[in-house]
Structure 1
Amino acid sequence: MLYKSNPLKVYNSLSGKKEDFTPIHEGNVGMYVCGPTVYSNVHLGNVRTFMSFDMIYRYLLHLGYKVRYVRNITDVGHIVDDVDDGEDKIAKKARLEQLEPMEIVQRYTVDFHEILGKLNFLPPSIEPTATGHIIEQIEIVKKIIENGLAYESNGSVYFDVVKYNETKHYGVLSGRNIDEMLANTRDTDGQSDKRNPQDFALWKKAEPEHIMRWPSPWSDGFPGWHLECTAMSTKYLGQHFDIHGGGMDLKFPHHECEIAQNEACTGNTPVNYWLHTNMLTLNGKKMAKSTGNNILPGEIFTGDSPFLSKGFSANVARFFMMQAHYSSILDFSDEAILAAEKGYNRLVEAMDGMAEIKPSGSSSIDIAQWKQSCYDAMNDDFNTPILVAQLFEGVKFINLLKIGSETITATDLDDFAKTLRAFLFDVLGLKDEKESANNNDKVEGLVHLLIGMRNQARADKDFALSDQIRDQLLALGIQLKDSKEGTTFTY
């Protein structure tokens, strides 16, 4: 297993420093990442976060770890502006579009999956939904009340932050001081049910017009946003697991509340390593729909945006994002992605040119050292920009080998090619376009073969077989179309 010879260091937001990564169970990693609230098209900044953890997931798999990767779907309980009082984001969108909330959830969950599919994401091991875990959330609330760290008020249940802070540190992740937070918080409307302004909702009583509601011991209502991730992460990864990830905007209050809930319920510190991604800006400014400084992921592919001179492939978009460290601010602009496209094309052209290299009896290039430098980059907190720089060193080697300025043995050449492919496609997650084209050709050949078999079945009046071929292809997303000219198909 590669992980035994490649010790990882990760930057832990909890300690504020890089630490040696040691899983709780050797060879196994449990990782939870806060997924999208599915009330609108997925935001490009969120795509960057999910792509960073897709890369981390890929590298852990590459090292030989068995990874259980859980990324949730938030489909209830996320209040507008991330507060405890107001309208649920999904319910609000449903009201505006005059649809059922679950229609909104379905529409934008499909959009989320389509965008991630185009960008060649690996699916998580488990993708639980908040609405699918209401019972688990109610049980956690019961336990926290039983432990004296939550209270019911007019049908809602709140976490008692001040009481919790008597023995624990509320603010341990974000470095905040509860006394300062309380002193700086003014009373606002809707906080009268709380003992303290910093207390957060575990369960909210639903107003009469609120559609998304479930029965509980306290009221017909819905869970708090923070509670959902606690329930889903611990159900599938246990009370103590390895990695919890998300955008840095979730560090407070969301992740802070998760830590407090877990401690209050089980007495355990839930997570060993907290990893946070940084912001994606657009032309040096924060992305926001309200200011018009915004671009959707799909617009990158089509070029249908005032910020872009043309469309770009999913591979180029992904390569652009991998050129920055996940914890650094990344600025998106037309100039930046054009530069990324040039770099990506250089890499692809160099790899295509490897077929021209003729092996020699000796190697003048130290491939083993170059290979280790690639691993060293990724072992240092998943440093993709340094890895990309090393891949471009590989491009230089290829160009020198092609003109005969350097030599390489057949064994080293094979190792060189495999390493390049592993880091470019398996780790960074770019799609091998040549392999995809070959696979498409194979699929088309198989479909034409089945069309021929179906035509023969129809000629033999074996309509049951004919219909079976048509229906089973349709189930795979391939639709046959019969006409006077013959049978064609579409995906």
Structure 2
Amino acid sequence: MAELKVYNSLTRQKEVFSPITPGHVGMYVCGPTVYSDVHLGNCRTFISFDIIYRYLKYLGYKVRYVRNITDAGHLEGDRDEGDDKFSKKARLEALEPMEIVQKYTLGFHKVMELFNNLPPTIEPTATGHISEQIEMVKHILNNGYAYVVDGTVYFDVEKYNNEKPYGILTNRKLEDLLEGTRDLSGQDEKKGRLDFALWIKAKPEHLMQWPSPWGMGFPGWHIECSAMSEKYLGKQFDIHGGGMDLAATHHTNEIAQSQACYNVSPANYWIHTNMLTVNGARMSKSAGNGFLPGQLFTGDHPLLEKAYSPMTVRFFMLQTHYRSTLDFSNEALQAAEKGLKRLWEAYENLGSLQSQASALRTNAANAETDNRCRELIADFDISMSDDFNTARVLANMFELVPLINSFKGGQIPLNSISRPTFELLQKQFTTYLLDVFGLKDDKTADTGRLDSVLQLLIQIRKEARSRKDFATSDKIRNELQQQGILLKDEKDGNVSWNII
């Protein structure tokens, strides 16, 4: 097994991965802010960390993967200015804030399911950990790195920076950061322009607020991740991840908070995914080139020529290293669609060769072919252990595809390789395709969607029968049968279906 190396944003170099506890990995990834639909940039981050999670498990690590849900206290600006997004959305839709949270959390989970992401082992919410956040703020105050102004608690960045470098994650000095900071609302309250709120005093009309030693209020955005990561992973853990847009402010502030509270940096390895572009331009809602996952799946966007399946999009993302910019275009997505189809055909061809493989010998008839095959397979682990380089693994898989297809078509005799090599090829090709990369056949996904539609029709048919509307009931059954789908009424009252 190759030695795992990861790029650490904190040191800006690849490092040999060495977990704090042998055999165990603690990984925290900043999750979504659930006041709107999850955007595609989020999806790239979560798919990338799903691959990392899967690969760590493949290596044999026991992984505690924590991904939070931000459902409180998130203002429109990174430095505590603007309206609270949840309150604003709740007022616009005449709903309770937690109705907004529930709606978009369920939507987020559905998108992750469509992309075949494994759920994290723990998914804490900010609102479920208010007491932990208050306790952490109290510790930071007691340690002298924060101050209170009229019910709001601010972190003293300048005082902290006198002892430890505040901009260590982005390799920037405090003077440079101050030059790029504009004046903000409430600036007169703060000692320094870079100071950020740990706890924010709530206005009377604010919908989400909690009692604290400093009065009614709500937590600042940054404190939630520090409090929850410490609760579930300890004061110091292995991996902290998120999109690169979080590094300059959110993750910088997390490091400062944890150092000020516990005198240790929270994570040993900081991993960041890069941004998305569309036809070479940065993806953004204001530019009109940003689309949601659902629009990709339906093709309902002016920039899309057609719909693309979740697995096509996932596969497309795997073709580029997670630290590289990923550019969306119809040409690239359609190429990914064809590439994924080729991989599935090779996978199915491998399965169909199983019966012939029993006749293979320990020694290969063609040592050159056998050796090349084993080299390409061995490079799967080498490439993935080089900072999770999915693109290089896929390149090797595609080099194996014509060989597999030639075995199936008879152009190259299967006995060109030995039985151990065939078994290794089948095992690793399958493991990487399904378990490490988390891909699944789109035909399976289509069957799942078909079942959802059919269950709805079955329910309508049941309701029609209960009203003795047998004409509608028979029409549903007969028209489905004409489309090649047979409904069968079971003895227990359930209805099954199969394609005829």
- Bin for the TM-score computed over the shorter chain: 0.7 to 0.9
- Structure 1 residue corresponding to 2:431, chosen from 422, 427, 435: 422
The aligned residue for residue 65 of structure 1 is 61
CA offsets 1:224-252 (integer angstroms, 9 cap, x no match)? 00000000111000000000000000001
CA distance in 1 between partners of 2:494 and 2:447 (Å)? 23
- Structure 1 residue corresponding to 2:421, chosen from 407, 412, 417: 412
The aligned amino acid for 1:56 is I
- What SS does the corresponding residue of 2:65 show, helix, strand or coil? strand
Within 5 Å, give how 1:119-158 maps onto structure 2. Answer: 119-158=115-154
Preserved CA contact (<8 Å) 1:280 1:286: yes
Aligned-pair distance for 1:288? 1.8
The aligned residue for residue 457 of structure 1 is none
How many corresponding residue pairs? Answer: 450
CA offsets 1:193-244 (integer angstroms, 9 cap, x no match)? 1111110000000011101000000010000000000001110000000000
- Structure 1 residue corresponding to 2:377, chosen from 357, 360, 371: 371
CA distance in 2 between partners of 1:344 and 1:397 (Å)? 17
1:192–1:37 distance in 2 versus 1, CA, 3 Å: same
CA distance in 2 between partners of 1:413 and 1:182 (Å)? 61
Aligned-pair distance for 1:179? 2.2
The aligned residue for residue 187 of structure 2 is 191
The aligned residue for residue 470 of structure 2 is none
Give me the identity figure in percent.
56
Indicate whether 1:310 and 2:296 are aligned: no
CA distance in 2 between partners of 1:481 and 1:355 (Å)? 32
CA distance in 1 between partners of 2:140 and 2:488 (Å)? 60
- What SS does the corresponding residue of 2:231 show, helix, strand or coil? helix
- What SS does the corresponding residue of 2:440 show, helix, strand or coil? coil
Deviates more, 1:104-113 or 1:349-358: 349-358
Unmatched runs of 5 consecutive residues or more in structure 1: 448-479
Indicate whether 1:80 and 2:76 are aligned: yes
- What SS does the corresponding residue of 1:80 show, helix, strand or coil? coil
Aligned-pair distance for 1:434? 6.9
CA offsets 1:448-491 (integer angstroms, 9 cap, x no match)? xxxxxxxxxxxxxxxxxxxxxxxxxxxxxxxx9989xx85369x
Indicate whether 1:351 and 2:358 are aligned: no
Aligned-pair distance for 1:81? 2.6
Deviates more, 1:430-439 or 1:160-169: 430-439
CA distance in 2 between partners of 1:428 and 1:324 (Å)? 13
Deviates more, 1:183-192 or 1:91-100: 183-192
Preserved CA contact (<8 Å) 1:425 1:432: no
Aligned-pair distance for 1:356? 4.8
The aligned amino acid for 2:111 is I
The aligned residue for residue 247 of structure 2 is 251
Indicate whether 1:278 and 2:274 are aligned: yes
CA distance in 2 between partners of 1:438 and 1:335 (Å)? 27
The aligned residue for residue 389 of structure 1 is 395
Aligned-pair distance for 1:307? 1.8
Aligned-pair distance for 1:290? 2.1
- Structure 1 residue corresponding to 2:42, chosen from 39, 46, 64: 46
CA distance in 2 between partners of 1:487 and 1:141 (Å)? 55
The aligned amino acid for 1:205 is K
- What SS does the corresponding residue of 1:207 show, helix, strand or coil? coil
- Structure 1 residue corresponding to 2:322, chosen from 319, 326, 333: 326
Aligned-pair distance for 1:79? 0.7
- Please report the TM-score for the alignment, with normalisation by the length of structure 2: 0.86
Indicate whether 1:398 and 2:394 are aligned: no
Aligned-pair distance for 1:98? 1.7
1:405–1:245 distance in 2 versus 1, CA, 3 Å: same
The aligned residue for residue 460 of structure 2 is none
1:183–1:439 distance in 2 versus 1, CA, 3 Å: closer
The aligned amino acid for 2:35 is Y
- What SS does the corresponding residue of 2:163 show, helix, strand or coil? coil
Aligned-pair distance for 1:369? 2.0
The aligned residue for residue 264 of structure 1 is 260
Aligned-pair distance for 1:399? 2.4
CA distance in 1 between partners of 2:80 and 2:447 (Å)? 52
- Structure 2 residue corresponding to 1:218, chosen from 184, 200, 214: 214
- What SS does the corresponding residue of 2:162 show, helix, strand or coil? coil
Aligned-pair distance for 1:92? 1.3
Q: CA RMSD in A?
A: 2.4
CA offsets 1:21-69 (integer angstroms, 9 cap, x no match)? 0000111000000000001110011100000000000000011100000
Preserved CA contact (<8 Å) 2:344 2:441: no
Preserved CA contact (<8 Å) 2:28 2:240: yes
CA distance in 1 between partners of 2:83 and 2:49 (Å)? 30
CA offsets 1:99-155 (integer angstroms, 9 cap, x no match)? 111111111101100000011000000000000000000000000000000000011
The aligned residue for residue 205 of structure 2 is 209
